[in-house]
Amino acid sequence: MNGQEESTIAAVSSGSGAAAVAVIRVSGPRAGEAVRALAGRLPPPRRASLARLVDPRSGEGLDSALVLWFPGPASATGEDMAEFQVHGGRAVVAAVLAALFALPGVRPAERGEFSRRAFLNGRMSLAEAEGLADLIAAETAQQRRQALAHAFGHLADRVEGWRAALVRGMALIEAGIDFAEEDDVPAEARALARPGLEALLAELDTALADRRGAMVRDGATIAIAGRPNAGKSSLMNALAARDVAIVSDEPGTTRDVLEVALDLDGHKAILIDTAGLREAAGAVEAEGIRRARARIEAADLVLWVHDGSDSEALAIEVTPPPEAGLWLVVNKSDLAGGPMTMPAAARTFAVSARTGDGLDGLTAALAGFVTARAGGAEHPALIRERQRGAVAEAAGHLRQGLAGWEMLSDELIAEELRLAARALGRVTGAIDVEDLLDVVFREFCIGK
């Protein structure tokens, strides 16, 4: 015990901002006492009871609230827990929290501390905790679905299945070690273990190659590029304005790259206006162009915007990375332009950022692109680099073991499998996690 787990924590768990009701959660050994101190009595477990809350220091009435009491260990955190549903005004919340923190042994919760305790008490796996963090942060329907699957342990189940396959392989090989005296048992045990391990390696490689989970979580990036005055900024504004729900958290506006997050049919996409690639004059602009090019190279899709009224010949001046698509958007369709020869490779859209002409078709195509890229990503995919790294390490050890199949001793092969299982254990938090906890739970907000 480090003392921290013995303290009782309290925080507002409902969303920030004004709301009719605020939920204040308390967790820890003194949660019951806290309820008695403020509500006068401990209500029956897991039932909402109306109570008048008073400040035990002054006897002053604070609010009329719903009080819920969840005795541990069958609570969300595994500890004694209580919930006060109070009126959402700032002053009420502040007064109730102040009364709670004035109680001995009760202190404000840190970020993610409720979830951390839930994890430590075996109420959720690490992958589930990460899913929960993503769920809280989800902006689009698709992100919500994926996070929900993780929060409910689908990834954890899948990884546990992988681990079980490794353990089975290990058991067979160790059986070989145990029976080494008897004639042909080792060879037989190994032969039995190999197909399952090969299948497992193929499955790990497939999971690692699948980037859909990350795509849903982080959004597909769509770079808008083109010559100065082609109408890139106008197009970006027009697309952003039409979009039903702009979900941009932090407008990533820098001097050279402007971005906005869109919700396209429930999928997140980040639209990047890369400023004119030829607008450079001084060193500062040159740096801006370098950054713009870097963003284009990392994009999932590049829209090359061409001014259709321009007499200058159409030329696409960017090379998208091999995996990305490049579409041609001929803008200013409202202005009369001469007939154009289109490059055969690019998908082409004629639009007017000014009148909105053609933008429906472009938006629908973008939604189709993002949906196809993300696939049915509510399946339990690896989302985070942390998960990916652990699975890659496991695949590495397994590959090593299989590669040395003919040369390595049973002990050495079993050791590679053990290391692989250990690495997988880090995904769900089954082993070796103490140092990871801070990294994971830091992402949570207070009250979660």
Smaller CB separation from ligand GDP, 98 or 335: 335
Q: How far is the CB of 234 from ligand GDP (least distance, A)?
A: 3
Instruction: For strands 81-87 and 21-27, give the pairing.
Output: antiparallel
Q: How far is the CB of 232 from ligand GDP (least distance, A)?
A: 3
Decide which of ligand GDP, Zn ion, none touches 354; Cβ closer than 5 to 8 Å per partner kind: ligand GDP
Decide which of ligand GDP, Zn ion, none touches 234; Cβ closer than 5 to 8 Å per partner kind: ligand GDP
The residues of the shown chain that bind ligand GDP, judged by CB under 6 A, are 226, 228-234, 276, 331-332, 334-335, 352-354
Smaller CB separation from ligand GDP, 159 or 330: 330
* Residue 234 contacts Zn ion per CB under 5 A: no
Smaller CB separation from Zn ion, 121 or 233: 233
Q: How far is the CB of 309 from ligand GDP (least distance, A)?
A: 7
Beta-bridge partners for 12: 24
Binding mask 182-221 for Zn ion (x = CB under 5 A): ----------------------------------------
Contact with Zn ion (CB under 5 A) among 233, 237, 248, 348: 233
Binding-site residue set for GTP: 229-234, 248-254, 273-276, 352-354
Smaller CB separation from ligand GDP, 248 or 309: 309
Q: How far is the CB of 252 from ligand GDP (least distance, A)?
A: 17
Decide which of Zn ion, ligand GDP, none touches 288; Cβ closer than 5 to 8 Å per partner kind: none
Closest residue to bound ligand GDP by CB:
231
- Residue 169 C-beta-side C-alpha neighbours within 13 Å: 31
- Residue 280 C-beta-side C-alpha neighbours within 13 Å: 15
Q: Do 193 and 173 meet the contact criterion of CB atoms below 8 Å apart?
A: yes
Decide which of ligand GDP, Zn ion, none touches 229; Cβ closer than 5 to 8 Å per partner kind: ligand GDP
Q: How far is the CB of 333 from ligand GDP (least distance, A)?
A: 7
Binding-site residue set for Mg(2+): 233, 254
Q: How far is the CB of 223 from Zn ion (least distance, A)?
A: 13
